[in-house]
Amino acid sequence: MSDLSHFDAAGRPRMVDVSGKPETRRSARAHAFVRIAPEVLSRLPENPKGNPLEIARIAGILAAKRTAELIPLCHPLPLSHADVEVTVETEGIKVVASAATNAQTGVEMEALTAAAVAALTIYDMTKALDKSIEIQQLHLLEKTGGKSGDFRR
């Protein structure tokens, strides 16, 4: 069985042991898109729950910091950076989350969790205006560092 398996020899789930891996700088960026009707987008400034974009940014950053509490077997990491950018586009809101650390394992899950939670927060804060909002295109954009090297979509 691979050293990177999330299962032990008996097939039971386990956290991967990364203690033998060197600490290196690692970063990741993830994307999500919240499809919202143009008429709802135009009403964001008067949203009854407040500014969903800034609340989503904060929610995403907090989620990145708590990823190990949400994803079973995910390593808790000392993040040196976490950020979420939200951009209003013609068909909705683009979310790009980033995370970085110097650690023995990567931060892809932190970036993906940040993007997902930011998108969910936008939905939560705008659902009173439109119930047909969709969260789409959650995926990793890029990651750097580690044994497997760099990845770019």
User: Is the confidence at residue 59, as pLDDT, over 90?
Assistant: yes
In this prediction, residue 107 carries a pLDDT of: 96
- Asked if residue 9 belongs to a domain, the reply is no
From the list 145, 88, 89, 136, the residue with the least C-alpha distance to 116 is 136
CATH code of the domain covering residue 73? 3.30.70.640
pTM value surpassing 0.75: yes
* pLDDT at residue 64, rounded to an integer: 98
Q: Is residue 36 part of a domain?
A: yes
For the beta sheet containing 151-152, the strands, ordered from the edge strand earlier in sequence to the opposite edge, are 79-89, 92-103, 24-35, 134-144, 151-152
Q: Which residues are catalytic?
A: 124
Comparing 93 with 9, the larger pLDDT belongs to: 93
Which residues span the domain enclosing 90?
27-144
| Residue 60 in domain | yes
- Contact indicator for 35, 109 with CB cutoff of 8 Å: no
- The answer to whether residue 124 is domain-embedded is yes
Give the count of domains, the chain: 1
Give the list of residues 6+ apart from residue 22 with CB closer than 8 angstroms, or none: 104
Residue 127 within a domain: yes
